[in-house]
């Protein structure tokens, strides 16, 4: 019994402990679209907007209501009204039983049957239908606006997706760069260990001093600290990637530490950029809003139909006591203090504002993309320069290490050259990281995954 409970607990716990190893970027992007919690929330907003669009369109088809009511009253007005609705009113209900032609004060007689009727039940069933025949285009435009808002929510989701793709790619390239950095630090630490061996040998022969040993040990401790910090940064990057994918990631399949540059042209930017598309959709929405404001100058026409039956017993002789009412109403606002005119002018100004926003978005985003492209090209030149400097710094270090063995330079000189190698390495990896970030930002702006 206990064994079975143990295995059931283990089985239920397995999904919580699941993790991904050697994750490829393409697989991660697929997981992102499926698992990311922020994307899920945005898609829920899309669904709500879709239902709002259906609800707005539904107003055009009118409203059909069914009502069933039951009442009991001895109120004179109610009872008389009940009998009329049930088509059962008689002259006796008016109090004719108290009528006496011989009474000279007949007009002052208070008819008992009319004033004090017996308590009566009343059951009424009605079906009513109200249909807007003409609203000046308001309902049509409201339906179009809600559909446009649904499309706007889809753009919002796509923008969030682009941002998460940007973050996921950056996490992959950051981890790959950190791995590269850790690999290079490992090499430097091996070189320091070799240098420590050289110093130890030279010390035995009397060519090196205790201070040389201490300097090498200090450099080794400094490099070890940088190595440990790099590993912590890698762990943090993995935690962020796991958060994005809503699943624990143990390791990734390393990518090239230089992200490919996308093809860019002004037309593709304008056609694909989400902010520009949202601004263009905003122009459409303001045009619809203007039509809604213009509709306030037009009449509204509605039709009404009602069919029902009433009796003192529920659904008794329904067709024998049924009734109907149909009608049409026209309503036209003639004057409201200039409110409609002010609202229409406001919508016109808003339309002009949004058009200006579109022009601003197009020019601003095109300028930003061009600026990022220029910065990437500049970073490419910096990377080429730092690669040459790194090769040179490594050769200089090896040269100084050989000179130290010959007693030409001090251990401090050797370690300074090694520091230069590490400095250039850090600059190279930093520039690569900055370059990749700008490329991912361009991808996000031109809506390329």
Least Cα distance to 130 among 296, 297, 301 occurs for 301
| Domain-wise residue ranges, the chain | 18-61+137-299+336-445
What's the predicted TM-score (pTM) here?
A: 0.81
pLDDT band at residue 87 using 50, 70 and 90 as cut-offs? confident
Q: For residue 389, is pLDDT > 90?
A: yes
- The larger pLDDT score, comparing residue 95 to residue 61, is at 61
Angle in degrees, CA 239, 255, 395, rounded to 5: 105
d(CA 296, CA 11): 65
Question: Which pLDDT score is estimated for 99?
Answer: 67
Topology of domain 18-61+137-299+336-445 in CATH is Outer membrane efflux proteins (OEP) (1.20.1600)
Give per-residue pLDDT as tens, 13-64.
Answer: 434 446 789 999 999 999 999 999 999 999 999 999 999 999 999 999 999 9
Task: Give the phi and the psi of residue 130 in degrees, each rounded to 5.
Answer: -115, 130
- Taking the C-alpha atoms of residue 216 and residue 415, their distance in angstroms, rounded to an integer, is 8
Query: What b-and-e string marks burial along 210-227, b requiring 16 or more CB atoms within 10 Å of the CB?
Result: eebbebbeebbeebeebe
Q: Can you tell me the mean pLDDT for 98-109?
A: 70
pLDDT for 412 beyond 50: yes
CA-nearest of 399, 392, 374 to 428 is 392
pLDDT: which is higher, 352 or 401: 352
User: Residue 137 pLDDT more than 50?
Assistant: yes
pLDDT at res. 434: 94
Question: What's the pLDDT at 165?
Answer: 95
Rg, C-alpha atoms of the chain = 42
Query: What's the rounded mean pLDDT across residues 328-348?
Result: 93
Confidence of residue 3 (pLDDT cuts 50, 70, 90): very low
- Dist. CA 174–CA 168, nearest whole Å: 10
- Whole-number percent of the chain with pLDDT over 70: 94
Looking at residue 9, its pLDDT comes to 44
Question: What average pLDDT does this structure show over 323-340?
Answer: 93
Q: Residues 185-202: what's their mean pLDDT? A: 88
Average confidence (pLDDT) over 124-139: 94
Query: Taking residues 422-432, what's their average pLDDT?
Result: 93
pLDDT band at 10 (very low <50, low <70, confident <90, very high): very low
Q: What is the mean pLDDT of the chain?
A: 89
Average pLDDT over residues 228-254: 95
């Amino acid at each position: 019994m206990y064994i079975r409970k143990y295995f059931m607990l283990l089985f239920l716990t397995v999904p919580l402990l699941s993790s991904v190893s050697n994750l490829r970027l393409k697989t991660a992007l697929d997981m992102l679209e499926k698992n990311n919690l922020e994307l899920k929330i945005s898609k829920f907003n899309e669904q709500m907007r879709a239902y709002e669009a259906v609800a707005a369109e539904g107003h055009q088809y009118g409203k059909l209501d069914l009502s069933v009511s039951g009442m009991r009253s001895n109120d004179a007005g109610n009872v008389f009204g009940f009998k009329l609705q049930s088509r059962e009113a008689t002259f006796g209900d008016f109090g004719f039983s108290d009528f006496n032609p011989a009474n000279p004060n007949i007009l002052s007689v208070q008819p008992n049957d009319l004033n004090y009727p017996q308590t009566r039940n009343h059951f009424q069933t009605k079906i009513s239908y109200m249909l807007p025949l003409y609203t000046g285009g308001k309902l049509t435009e409201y339906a179009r606006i809600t559909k446009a808002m649904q499309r706007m929510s889809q753009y919002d989701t796509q923008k969030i997706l682009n941002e998460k793709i940007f973050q996921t790619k950056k996490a992959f390239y950051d981890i790959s760069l950190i791995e590269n950095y850790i690999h290079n630090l490992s090499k430097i630490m091996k070189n320091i260990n070799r240098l420590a061996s050289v110093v130890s040998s030279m010390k035995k022969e009397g060519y090196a001093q205790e201070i040389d040993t201490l300097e090498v040990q200090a450099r080794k401790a400094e490099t070890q600290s940088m190595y440990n910090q790099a590993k912590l940064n890698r762990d943090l990057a993995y935690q962020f990637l796991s958060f994005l994918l809503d699943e624990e990631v143990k390791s990734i399949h390393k990518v090239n530490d230089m992200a490919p540059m996308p093809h860019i042209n002004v037309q593709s930017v304008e056609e694909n950029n989400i902010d520009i598309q949202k601004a263009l959709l905003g122009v459409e929405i303001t045009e619809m809003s203007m039509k809604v404001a213009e509709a306030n100058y037009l009449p509204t026409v509605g039709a009404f139909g009602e069919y029902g039956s009433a009796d003192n017993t529920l659904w008794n002789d329904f067709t024998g006591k049924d009734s109907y009412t149909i009608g049409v109403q026209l309503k036209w606002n003639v004057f409201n203090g200039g409110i409609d005119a002010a609202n229409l002018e406001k919508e016109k100004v808003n339309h002009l504002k949004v058009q200006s926003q579109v022009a601003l978005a197009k020019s601003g985003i095109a300028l930003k993309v061009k600026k990022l492209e220029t910065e990437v090209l500049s970073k490419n030149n910096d990377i080429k320069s730092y690669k040459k400097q790194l090769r040179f710094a490594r050769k200089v270090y090896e040269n100084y290490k050989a000179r130290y063995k010959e007693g030409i330079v001090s251990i401090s000189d050797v370690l300074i050259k090694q520091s230069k190698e590490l400095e250039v390495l850090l600059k190279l990896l930093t520039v690569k990281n900055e370059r990749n970030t700008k490329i991912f930002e361009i991808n996000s702006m031109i809506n390329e995954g």
